[in-house]
Amino acid sequence: MIVKDFSVEKTLDSGQIFRYHFENGWWYVHHLDQFFRMKQEGNKLHFEGTPDHFLTSFFSLKENIKKINKKINKDEVINKAIQHSAGLRLLQQDPWECMVAFLCSSASNIPKIKMNMDLLSQQFGRKEEKFGKTVFHFPELHSLNDYQKIWNAKTGFRAKYLYTINTLVDYPFFRQLQAMHYEDCIFELNELPGIGPKVADCIALFSLGKTEAFPIDTWMRKVMLRHYFKGKKVSDQKIRQFAMDYFGIYAGYAQQYLFDASRKGVL
């Protein structure tokens, strides 16, 4: 497959997704019941284990990224972040897996989230042999019905939220969220147990098509206060509103560029 303005490494390693690893020149990616591998040589993308239409959708390869970057490139700070993170795309994830992942992200870190997702898959997911590996697919919706097994996945205080939310959401609900305006979508997500503003924004941005969402964590708070508020302390809500007004409908892309550049020590 020929791709333009796309980097597998930068996209996967941007904190959007957690069930992936790099081994012997291949990126192995696991999402729901899809387990595939890929490697990139310039603009050539080699892949095995999934159809090309899934990759095109999952990695947003039809998005006009140059147009998006032009719209958000409003100052030297974001320009530097865009240049550093060139090729990064917003993933279009399944909302169930995305919701579970970011519920696990509360007061956590990327290695621990990866561990939680792997253990949940081992406890509840279907087993398969592929590429010479034993893998476990992600638990289906409504299958997280054993609190002890959720706890065994080392989810800690998040176990009660995962156990409860398993019965509260379904795919018609997710489709309703996708059809809502951003503010209504976030309101509905915040009504669910364990989901605060950051987690809601991550779910909205990475799985519900709300490209204006601007999740704020420790990295984003630091980079925004330093470069856009002259070091003055302001609330996350004010940072979020400023970013959405300033960057517009594609604020989520700006967030990903700034997050990646901040985490890599560029900003």
How does pLDDT run across 99-110, given as a tens digit for each residue? 999 999 988 899
| 142, 166 Cβ separation under 8 angstroms | yes
Contact 103, 95 (CB under 8 A): no
Query: DSSP class of residue 43?
Result: T
The predicted pLDDT at position 107 comes to 87
- If pLDDT is split at 50, 70 and 90, which confidence band does 49 have? very high
The architecture of the domain spanning 95-207 is Orthogonal Bundle (1.10)
Report the alpha-carbon distance of residue 246 to residue 258 in Å, rounded.
Answer: 14
What's the mean pLDDT when you consider all of the chain? Answer: 96
Whether pTM > 0.75 for this model: the answer is yes
- What's the average model confidence in pLDDT over 254-259? 98
